[in-house]
């Protein structure tokens, strides 16, 4: 068959953040054209029988690091490998980061990331700018980025002094302007200077193994920074978004602020739901796999995260896909994690997860009765799209939305192995784990890009998506 003019997904169970019904869905000209019962089509339309399958909006992962320079390391997934992996995992839109270096402006950072992404991306993408330095020119460029480049969110760090950390006044200035312009500041909330002191003291005491990564980043310092970020946002009268919330110490401030009506939003990540800090109870160098920031927390924290996900104190589950190789690696990125085998502070912080987000959350969330199907879609596609100005183009199944659609088999299962995944990372935290649910087919703007194990997508077919204002309420 030559390239079909359209695709009819017949008789699938359409799940959105609010609905759940069996219907036919016609994808045409890159968008969802019609949703109905027994839709008639001509012979030039490809018909896919989706009986027994879920028809989900393509996942929206608003926290990924592809080709990101983080300190002295570069994440091992390129825009090509990372977005292909995303597609196989049922994610059709990613938001990566453009880093403002010491010498350039946010606009240069955006242009640089776009140049690199353009020929490589296999799903649609956007960028948050990491703003490390704030002055009048930077604020001017931030405004330009928002109104002319379609970049409406900015990440700032309260950790990593001397590298990426911004001071409170800089964060406040950004919150005030970006909030007034309808954008979002995303914060990495940890007290960076105290954590650096704890790291220094641990190393001086000879505590060098990877487990000390977690011991030197206590949850209380995540809580302190979260509270400070909230107060800055309150003063600035701006919405604020906390990335990678891992602990109840942070969560309790978010819950209180939301109850007071302060527009605070937050994500957690699959690894905080899948694992707890018991993995750190060893001096084995393999623990470097679990060195991400913030570190994994207690099983008690995990219970609080699930509660917050259910009751909307957390609104998003994004991956913080930040892959570094343990051993083999690709593209010359060998032994990245092993750089820190004799000094935990040298282990690049981050773990992979872009391809396993949807299926792992389906298994531990939906199948274990912790999340409804609607909530699963809301957390992984709809709300991230709303909070970051992508909705309703992305994040839902509705007439006129982009035809980014995942056919998902809830009755299938799969055992995860790193060598079956499509990214460049040589390990997965889920190695050997059997998960219920499987992505069967993925459409990007109506084009079939994943068909079972077959890759039909192309590097460069993804598009930069200019984003609008946040929909925070």
Q: CB under 5 to 8 A by kind: which of Zn ion, ligand DUC, none does 365 bind?
A: none
Binding test (CB under 6 A) with ligand DUC, winner from 16, 73, 293, 302: 293
Q: CB under 5 to 8 A by kind: which of ligand DUC, Zn ion, none does 349 bind?
A: ligand DUC
Q: CB under 5 to 8 A by kind: which of ligand DUC, Zn ion, none does 213 bind?
A: none
**Closer residue to Zn ion (CB): 188 or 297:** 188
Within residues 305-324, the interface with Zn ion by CB under 5 A covers 320
**Closer residue to Zn ion (CB): 293 or 383:** 293
Report the nearest approach of ligand DUC to the CB of residue 317 (Å): 14
- Give the C-alpha distances (Å, rounded to integers) separating 297 from 136, 214, 223: 39, 8, 13
Q: Which residue is nearest to ligand DUC (CB)?
A: 293
**Closer residue to ligand DUC (CB): 12 or 350:** 350
d(CA 449, CA 461): 10
Binding test (CB under 6 A) with ligand DUC, winner from 90, 183, 350, 423: 350
d(CA 249, CA 244): 13
Report the nearest approach of Zn ion to the CB of residue 64 (Å): 8
HSE value, Cβ hemisphere, 13 Å, CA-based, for 439: 33
Verify binding: residue 447, Zn ion, rule CB under 5 A.
no
Report the nearest approach of ligand DUC to the CB of residue 222 (Å): 11
Residue 332's Cα: distance from chain center in Å?
25
- Give the C-alpha distances (Å, rounded to integers) separating 11 from 21, 26, 347, 413, 451: 10, 11, 49, 22, 18
437: phi then psi, degrees, rounded to nearest 5: 100, 145
Residue 128's DSSP bridge partners are 97
d(CA 293, CA 222): 10
d(CA 124, CA 442): 13
Burial string for 212-234 (b: 16+ CB within 10 Å, else e) reads: bbbebbbbebbbbbbbbbbebbb
Peptide bond before residue 294 is cis, with ω within 30 degrees of 0? yes
Binding test (CB under 5 A) with Zn ion, winner from 173, 188, 258, 467: 188
Binding test (CB under 6 A) with ligand DUC, winner from 33, 173, 188, 297: 188
Residue 343's Cα: distance from chain center in Å?
28
Report the nearest approach of ligand DUC to the CB of residue 158 (Å): 10
Considering just the CA atoms, what is the radius of gyration of the chain in Å?
21
Report the nearest approach of ligand DUC to the CB of residue 319 (Å): 10
Verify binding: residue 320, ligand DUC, rule CB under 6 A.
yes
| Tokens 């899948």 sit on residue | 274
Verify binding: residue 33, ligand DUC, rule CB under 6 A.
no
Report the nearest approach of ligand DUC to the CB of residue 207 (Å): 20
Within residues 50-89, the interface with ligand DUC by CB under 6 A covers 65, 70
Q: Which residue is nearest to Zn ion (CB)?
A: 188
- Give the C-alpha distances (Å, rounded to integers) separating 186 from 15, 58, 233, 325: 29, 23, 11, 27
**Closer residue to ligand DUC (CB): 188 or 211:** 188
Verify binding: residue 244, ligand DUC, rule CB under 6 A.
yes
**Closer residue to ligand DUC (CB): 48 or 322:** 322
d(CA 269, CA 271): 6
Verify binding: residue 127, ligand DUC, rule CB under 6 A.
no
Verify binding: residue 243, ligand DUC, rule CB under 6 A.
yes
Verify binding: residue 289, ligand DUC, rule CB under 6 A.
no
Burial of 94 (0-12, 13-18, 19+ CB in 10 A): buried
Report the nearest approach of ligand DUC to the CB of residue 269 (Å): 9
Binding test (CB under 6 A) with ligand DUC, winner from 25, 238, 257, 322: 322
- Give the C-alpha distances (Å, rounded to integers) separating 400 from 32, 424, 445: 5, 35, 11
**Closer residue to ligand DUC (CB): 105 or 349:** 349
**Closer residue to Zn ion (CB): 17 or 131:** 131
Give the footprint of Zn ion on this chain (CB under 5 A): 188, 320
Q: Which residues bind ligand DUC (CB under 6 A)?
A: 65, 70, 188, 243-244, 293, 320, 322, 349-350
């Amino acid at each position: 068959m030559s390239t079909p003019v359209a695709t009819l997904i017949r008789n699938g169970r359409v799940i959105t953040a609010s609905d759940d019904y069996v219907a036919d869905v016609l994808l045409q000209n890159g968008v969802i054209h019609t949703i109905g019962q027994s839709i008639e089509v001509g012979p030039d339309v490809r018909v896919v029988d989706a009986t027994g399958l879920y028809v989900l909006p393509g996942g929206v992962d608003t926290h990924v690091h592809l080709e990101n320079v983080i300190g002295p390391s570069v994440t091992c997934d390129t825009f090509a490998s990372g977005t292909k992996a995303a597609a196989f995992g049922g994610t059709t839109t990613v938001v990566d980061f453009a880093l403002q270096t010491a010498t350039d402006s946010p606009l240069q950072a955006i242009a640089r990331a776009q140049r690199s992404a353009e020929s490589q991306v296999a799903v649609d993408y956007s960028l948050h700018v990491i703003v490390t330095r704030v002055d009048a020119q930077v604020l001017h460029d931030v405004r330009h980025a928002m109104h002319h480049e379609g970049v409406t969110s900015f990440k700032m760090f309260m950790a990593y002094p001397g590298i990426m950390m911004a001071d409170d006044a800089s964060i406040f200035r950004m919150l005030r302007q970006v909030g007034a312009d309808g954008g979002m500041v995303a914060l990495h909330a940890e007290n960076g200077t105290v954590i650096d002191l704890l790291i220094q003291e641990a190393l001086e005491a000879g505590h060098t193994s990877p487990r000390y990564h977690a011991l030197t980043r206590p949850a209380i310092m995540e809580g302190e920074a979260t509270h400070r970020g909230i107060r800055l946002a309150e003063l600035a009268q701006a919405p604020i978004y906390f990335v990678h919330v891992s602990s109840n110490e942070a969560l309790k401030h978010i819950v209180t602020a939301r109850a007071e009506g302060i527009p605070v939003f937050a994500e957690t990540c699959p690894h905080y739901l899948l694992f707890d800090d018991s993995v750190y109870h060893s001096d084995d160098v393999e623990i470097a796999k679990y060195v991400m920031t913030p570190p994994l927390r207690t099983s008690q924290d995990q219970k609080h995260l699930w509660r917050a996900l259910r009751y909307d104190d957390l609104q998003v589950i994004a991956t913080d896909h930040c892959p570094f190789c343990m051993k083999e690696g690709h593209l010359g990125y060998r032994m990245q994690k092993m750089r820190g085998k004799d000094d935990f502070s040298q282990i690049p912080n981050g773990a992979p997860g872009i391809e396993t987000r949807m299926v792992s959350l389906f298994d531990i969330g939906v199948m274990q009765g912790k999340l409804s199907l609607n909530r699963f879609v809301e957390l992984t596609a709809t709300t991230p799209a709303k909070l970051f100005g992508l909705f309703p183009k992305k994040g839902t199944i509705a007439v006129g939305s982009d035809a980014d659609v995942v056919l998902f088999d809830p009755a299938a299962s799969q055992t995860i192995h790193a060598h079956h995944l499509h990214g460049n990372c040589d390990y997965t935290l889920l190695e050997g784990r059997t998960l219920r649910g499987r992505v069967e087919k993925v459409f990007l703007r109506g084009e079939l890009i994943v068909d079972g194990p077959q890759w039909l997508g192309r590097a460069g077919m993804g598009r930069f998506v200019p984003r609008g204002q946040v929909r925070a309420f």
